[in-house]
Each structure stands twice: as C-alpha cells, then as structure tokens.
Amino acid sequence: MAKGILIIVEQRNLEIRKVSLELLSQGRKIADETGEPLVAVIVGNGIEGLAQTVTASGADKVILIEDAKLADYTTGAYTSVLNKLIRKEEPQAVLMGNTAIGKDLAPRLAQRLGVGLASDCTGMETDASSFLVFKRPIYAGKAFEYLTSNVRPILATIRPNTFKVTDPDAARKSEIVKEAADIDAGDLRAILKEVAIAASSRPDLTEANIIVSGGRGMGGPENYVILEALADVVGAAVGASRAAVDSGWKEHKFQVGQTGKTVAPTLYIACGISGAIQHLAGMGSSKFIVAINKDPEANIFNVADYGIVGDLFEVVPVLTEEFKKLVK
Amino acid sequence: MNIIVYIKQTFDTEAKIVLDGSGKIDANGVNLIINPYDEFAVEEGIKLKEKLGGEVTVVSIGGAKAQEAIRTALAMGADKGVLISDPALENADEWANAEVLAKAIAKMPCDIVIAGRIAIDDGASQIGVRLAEILNVPSISSILKLDVTGTHVTATREIDGGTETIEAELPLVLTAQKGLNEPRYPSVAGIMKAKKKPIQTLTLADLGLSAGDLAPKMSVQKYTLPDARKAGQKIPGDVATAAHELARLLREEAKIL
C-alpha cells in the first residue's frame, strides 16, 4: 500500500535549493491534512549536515543517499538510486522542483517507474479520490490544465516560487536513514566533464521575486546597465523580450515568453516592451505588472497595473533613485 | 549516420487559446507550425548529416495535418518522414507517446535521436528523455552546443545559472534548446524536392500495439483560462512626478518595496 509523500531535495554545493524548502513547507501541510508521513531524500556526497535543515523544514523521515559518484548530478546515477529508493519506499507521491535537474531527472525516473508525470506545476491541491490534483500552465500560460494520476506513485515537478517557505522549527525531530548507493557502470554512460556557472549577483529569473525586463525599446545591449542598476537596488533579476534576444542584445537564458521562460514574480517591470501575446503568456501571471513605454497605445498597458508613458531612458534612472530612497 | 529527429506540430505562438463547448482546447481556425524548439532539432540533424554523411528521418505523432510539419522539415533538408497517426492516440499522455515513438524508432536504423527540449503547447518536456529510457541509451537534455566525432559525443547543456558539458557515446538522445543553432528557412528548391520525398504513415496496429496497451497514466480533469487582466492606471505627470508616484504606489498600495 502506497504511503507517504516523498520530496526529492535538491542541493547544489551542499546548499539546499529554495524550491526544495518550498516543497517541504507545502508537503508538511499536505502531510498534516492527509495523515501521510513526509519523507525527504537527499542525494549527493557529504550531505549529512543537510538533514537538520530538512527536518526543521518539516520532514518526518530523512533518507540520505551518499556516494562520491553522486557529488554532481548525472541523469543515469541519480535515476538509478532514486528508482530503487522509490520502489522500496512505495510513496503515494514524489515531488521535486522544476529546476534544470528536475526537468532532466523526472521524465527519466517516471519512465523507469512506468508512471505519469505532471511537469512544471504551479498549483497542487489534495483530492479525496485521486490524492493530489496538479494545476499546470499549457501554451506557456495562455491556459491551464488540471491533472491527476491514475497510477502510483504520483510524480510531479513544481515550479519554483509556487509555494511559500514556512519558518523552520529547529525543535522538530525526524528519523534519519542512510541508504546504500547502488550504482553500476550502465548508470554512468554520460559523464559530466565541466560545470560553468556564470558569476552573477542577481537571482535566477524563475526564482526571482522582482524582475526588471527590457525589450526592443532598449535600443542595444549596452543600455541594459540602466535596468541592472534598477534591479540591483531591489535584488531583482533582469529579463528580456524575444525582440531583444533575437537582436542579439541578451542571451536566450534571459528571455521571458512563450519560447523563453515563463515567470510569475511579485513584481514585473516591463521597459520598452510592446506586449506581444507570446510575451504576455510568459509573464501574465505576475502579481503586479509595471509598464514603462513611449507608446501610449502599447499592448503592455492593457495588462499593467501601473504604467508610465515616457522614455525609459529618462524614467528608469529617476525610478532607480526613488527605489533607493524606499529601500534605504 | 542514421539521424532521427522527433518533431511535433503545435499551435502558432500567435494563437489565442479558447475553449470549445465541451471545455477542451479549441483547435478550430488555429494556424499550425513546427514546434519552434523542434526546428533547432531538425537544423542540428541536417548539420550532422552535412558533416558526417547519412540520412535524417523526421518522425512525428499526430493527425493527418502533421504531414505539413514533416514536409517543412523535409524542405529544410531532412530525407524522409514517418507519421504515426491513429485515432486512439488523441488523448495519449507523455508515457504513451514515448512508448509509441520508441516502438517505431526501434525498427529503424538509429545512431542519434534529436528532439526539441519542450513543446510550446503542453509544455511537458518529457518525450525525449522518456524515449532514451525506453531505448536504454543515455540522454543529454537542453543542449546549446554539440560535437560528434566518430561515436563520441560532447554536448553543452543549459543548467540553472550556467552550463555543463557532458560526454557520452552513440547511440543517444539529445534535446535541443534555443541557441543551439539558427534554423534555416526552406529554399524554393528545397520545397520542390520535399514534395517527392517519402512520408510513411504508421498506425498503432503497424507497430504491434493496441489502444489497450496505452491506457493513460494521467488524466486531465479540466482546462481553464487565466483570469483576464485589467488595464490599471497610467500615472500622469512629468518624469520626476510619475516615478515618485509609482514608487509610492508600489510601497503603499501593492505593498512590495
């Protein structure tokens, strides 16, 4: 009989990703509501010290799978150890973040387990008949579908920023279990050679609480410095529209929209962005939208909570100074 | 080299999404295109063929209209197409589609499979990686750079905040991220040639499968549309006044800053 909710906790350089804390927080709520235990698994090397954080964030049981071969994420090795663990634990549901790792790992794991997968979910509710219902954007957010799984375990990846992190409880206790990492040569057919993390003091677009984004109106790559100055005052990420990316001003990883990233920050500041349907799909579920554009007829004003009709090169520096006064 | 490219026909990115009378996504009157990420896969397949020789086979699952997407890939320079088309696949989930695709590909000579990293319609991003699992080969997803030398593959893939470089041996499955290449436009000569290139159509029965083998693992309860956003206020005044007022509204009304 399937039992429990299993969270695959993601760590990078022995630091737990924020999305994993979000899942532990929400998992705890579901565990309390349904009477199911909340189990967390951490895979890596030298990860023992993370068990305390995971416990304080809500886990009833923490499983550690440690091996030098698991220090870095590789599809084969991680799929192998997690497949074995899930078959042993038989949870009702397995949840992980829709991160680069989650996107790569979850489909492989789902297929090895012979189950479905609700990917990139932005909502999750308990349900009497199917245990969990997942809400996920389709057509980059132009519509939503609600998915349930007909088989167990239920597998889902959840988009970062979907759930809030609750305050950790240092007094919580959990059962801590070590599982052997049983990895064979067949699991290591793709070898990680090099990792290059771009040095950036700014948050990732998909995790950012505030995004300052620039489009065609930026006029050139050199002008993004004024958006970066605004972003850095409030700890925001910097994004771009497809027009700006296709002009070669920003790399694709900064693109917001249907063929880029779908984001839902608390505040999205669109500068010199006209508001094409593909762009609106990617940022339309932001809580507040600010538009700064010269063209009073620009479509972006139809979705913006606050708009300033004006030259962004004049408005943004003044706004930066205003933000500085507020966050001082 | 036998190169297989998996493509999907999707709604145009311009498409407005509406629900039909039964609450499902309405495809009526919607312009259809090759999924943009699959164009990168087609381009990379053709580039591999140009460098290493061999043949590019484009495989798709869909209705009769998906022939048009295959035809476009053939006009770009792929050699032949396979369309898996069966009414029983209309509500297939990712698991079922991957199983069907694997059945078809297992019958073809295959050194490398390339797919787009995600389809812009369902946004699920599962088929390529699931396919690799069924075929029992490695996969490298969301690649930005590829080098194939002999049977040795080096690929750079996008990760959160950076990239990583992975090495593996053929055969394997790759999924393409934007930035991998610039897809070529079909030339007039290419379009003419594509008309003569073969497209084979396969049903589930041709693959030795029946609808009963593909009972979905996932069910869609319902579809909804996002709440329409309302236009808010345009803040009047000169730059200094408007910027000051915006900062105030963000703090006092939106309670953000």
A72-82 pLDDT tens trace: 999 999 999 99
Please state whether beta strands A143-149 and B218-224 pair in parallel, antiparallel, or not at all (unpaired): antiparallel
B211 touches chain A (CB under 8 A): no
Tokens representing residue B189 in the block: 């000569």
**Cα A62 from Cα A64, distance rounded (Å):** 7
pLDDT in tens, A196-225: 998 888 998 988 999 999 999 999 999 999
So what's the pLDDT on residue A296? 96
B52 touches chain A (CB under 8 A): no
Q: Does domain A5-188 have CATH number 3.60.20.10?
A: no
Taking 90 as the threshold, does the pLDDT of residue A42 lie above it?
yes
- On whether A272 is known to bind a ligand per the annotation, the reply is yes
pLDDT band per the 50, 70, 90 thresholds, residue A51:
very high
Domain pair A5-188 / A205-327, same fold = yes
**Cα A114 from Cα B129, distance rounded (Å):** 13
So what's the pLDDT on residue B161? 87
Domain spans, chain A: 5-188, 205-327
User: From the CB of residue B161, how many other CB atoms can be counted at a distance below 10 Å?
Assistant: 18
Complex ipTM > 0.85: yes
pLDDT in tens, A87-107: 999 999 999 999 999 999 999
- On whether A307 is known to bind a ligand per the annotation, the reply is no
- On whether A76 is known to bind a ligand per the annotation, the reply is no
**B182 vs A contacts (CB less than 8 Å):** none
Residue type, A67: D
pLDDT in tens, A96-143: 999 999 999 999 999 999 999 999 999 999 999 999 999 999 999 999
So what's the pLDDT on residue A1? 62
- On whether A275 is known to bind a ligand per the annotation, the reply is yes
Arithmetic mean of pLDDT, A20-24:
98
Instruction: Answer whether A108's CB lies under 8 Å from A94's CB.
Output: no
B177 touches chain A (CB under 8 A): yes
DSSP symbol at A144 = E
So what's the pLDDT on residue A285? 87
**A310 vs B contacts (CB less than 8 Å):** 239, 242
**B17 vs A contacts (CB less than 8 Å):** 139, 142-143
pLDDT in tens, A153-171: 999 999 998 999 999 999 9
User: From the CB of residue A114, how many other CB atoms can be counted at a distance below 10 Å?
Assistant: 10
Tokens representing residue A43 in the block: 């895979």
Fold classification of A205-327 is Rossmann fold (3.40.50)
Domain spans, chain B: 2-214, 227-257
B160 touches chain A (CB under 8 A): yes
List of E strands, chain A: 5-9, 11-12, 15-16, 38-44, 61-66, 93-97, 118-121, 123-127, 131-138, 143-149, 154-158, 175-179, 191-197, 210-214, 237-240, 267-271, 288-293, 306-309
**Of A185 and B141, the one with more pLDDT:** B141
Query: For the domain with range B2-214, which CATH number is right: 3.30.1360.120, 3.40.50.2300, 3.40.50.620, 3.40.140.10?
Result: 3.40.50.620
B182 touches chain A (CB under 8 A): no
So what's the pLDDT on residue A9? 98
The proportion of chain A whose per-residue pLDDT surpasses 90, expressed as a percent, equals 93
Arithmetic mean of pLDDT, B222-248:
94
Of B218, B224, B226, the CB nearest to A118: B218
